[in-house]
Every structure is written in structure tokens, then in C-alpha cells.
Amino acid sequence: MGHEAVVGLACFPVKSMLGEGHERLVLDERGVAGDRLWALRHEDGKLGSGKNTRRFRRTPGMLEYEAAYEGDAPVVTTPDGETLRPGDPRIGELFGAGMELAREGEVSHQDAGAVSLVGTASLHALGELLGDSDPVDVRRLRKNIVIGTDEPWIEEDWVGREITFDGGLCLRVTMRIERCVMTTQAQRELPADHRILKTLTASRGMCVGVYADVVTPGTLAIGAKVTIK
């Protein structure tokens, strides 16, 4: 098997904020270049997120903010259309005293994997599980790579296998992605939808999509053919 193609690419400069779609992405040993490289950091070092864990602290409203790169640093656009950059004192005013936009240091900003991907057939299947006629909007799932597929959940069969793309990029699929409350939260153009996590919990072990590590770095473009080894 292996004639699928890449149909969507996205990078999220600031963890738990909206990112942007791309026609082409560079992937290095860490993952998508610049992806989740920045985060909102609390005074105690915890990172702003949609959930509470040992490393993360739930910080409401982050999905109302959009981040894009301007050079090597992110520019964050607020819901009112204002722009924020690292070091802007308004960040603390908007999100909480002492909070700042911080670049990744020794502690990774990533959840559990370098690169995330999902197949289009799984998006359709999840929409059907929700009782909708349309596929679930991939923006809710915040994947780096969307691959055109015919069989729902087929990407879960790729765990432990390698994926190669036109141009030489190679990924090794490592695990299913367990989803969290981020999938249900409102974001620009999308209302809150609490059905998603309940449905994934009941039907899919809370999982949709897979993580992968970078075996051979390279550049990935929309339309690139995919081969599963």
C-alpha cells in the first residue's frame, strides 16, 4: 500500500494558540520547524494550555489568539486585532500577572510526540460518529499533517512503521494520540462542541490521529505522495 498524498499542513508557533496553514513545511529532528517552539509561561514555569498536568496549566481563551511567525519570533493577534510580541507587557494583563511568551528551553513544549498527523477518512468517520454529515473540522484536532486516505483510522495501523514522502522526508509513527478537552473548546469560527471528547472516549479510547518522530529531515509540500513501509 502507499499511494496517499498530503492534503493539509499546519504549524502552531505558540502552544495552545491558533496557528496557520502552509503549502510547505520544513521538518528537522525536533519536528515541524518552529512548531510549538513558543508558549505562554506562568511565573512558576508551567506552560499555558487547555489542560492541567505536571507541566501545563489550563489557561482559558488561548484558542481565541492566533500566532504566526515574523522572522524568528511569533506575532500573536488578539481577538480585537491587536498584535503582541515576546516581551509585550500586555501579555501579563491579558493572561495573568507574570505570564510571558517564552521560547522553548530545556523542557519541551510538545505533548508526547514530534509530529502529529491524521487521515481524511478518519475525519469523516469521526463526523459520522458525531451524527454530522460533514467531517469533523481538522482545526479542532490541531494536526501538523493531513493525509488523504480511504480507510478510517488506517493511520493507527502505521504505528511502528515508517512513512516516506516525495523529497526524502521520512517519519516513524510512534503512537496513537490521546485527545483532551482542547478538541471541545471554542475557537475562532468554531463554537464549543462537547460531543467530540465524549464520542472519542466512548468509541476510540479518546484517540484520533498518530504521533511520529522524524527519521530523515526534509521539506514537505501539499500534494506530496506518501509511501508506508
SS3 for the chain is CCCCEEEEEEECCECCCECEECCEEEEECCEECCCCCEEEECCCCCEEECCCCCCEEECCCHHHCEEEEECCEEEEECCCCCEECCCCCHHHHHHCCCCEEEECCCCCCCCCCCEEEEEHHHHHHHHHHCCCCCCCCHHHCCCCEEEECCCCCHHHHHCCCEEEECCCCEEEEEEEEECCHHHHCCECCECCCCHHHHHHHHHCCCEEEEEEEEEECEEEECCCEEEEC
Residues of the chain with CATH 2.40.33.20: 5-32+111-228
Distance CA 204, CA 178 (A): 9
Low-confidence ranges of the chain (pLDDT < 50): 1-2
> Are 220 and 9 contacting, i.e. CB atoms less than 8 angstroms apart?
yes
**What pLDDT is stored for residue 1 in this prediction?**
47
pLDDT of residue 18: 95
- pLDDT score for 99: 93
Which residues lie below 8 Å from residue 62, measured CB to CB, with a gap of 6+? 16, 17, 40, 48, 49, 50
Supply the pLDDT for residue 53.
81
**Superfamily of domain covering 5-32+111-228:** PK beta-barrel domain-like (2.40.33.20)
Query: Contact 151/158 with Cβ under 8 angstroms?
Result: no
Bridge partners of 212, per DSSP, are 115, 173
Q: What is the pTM of this model?
A: 0.93
Contact call for residues 214 and 28 (beta carbons, < 8 A):
yes
Distance of alpha carbon 179 from the chain centroid: 11
pLDDT of residue 185: 86
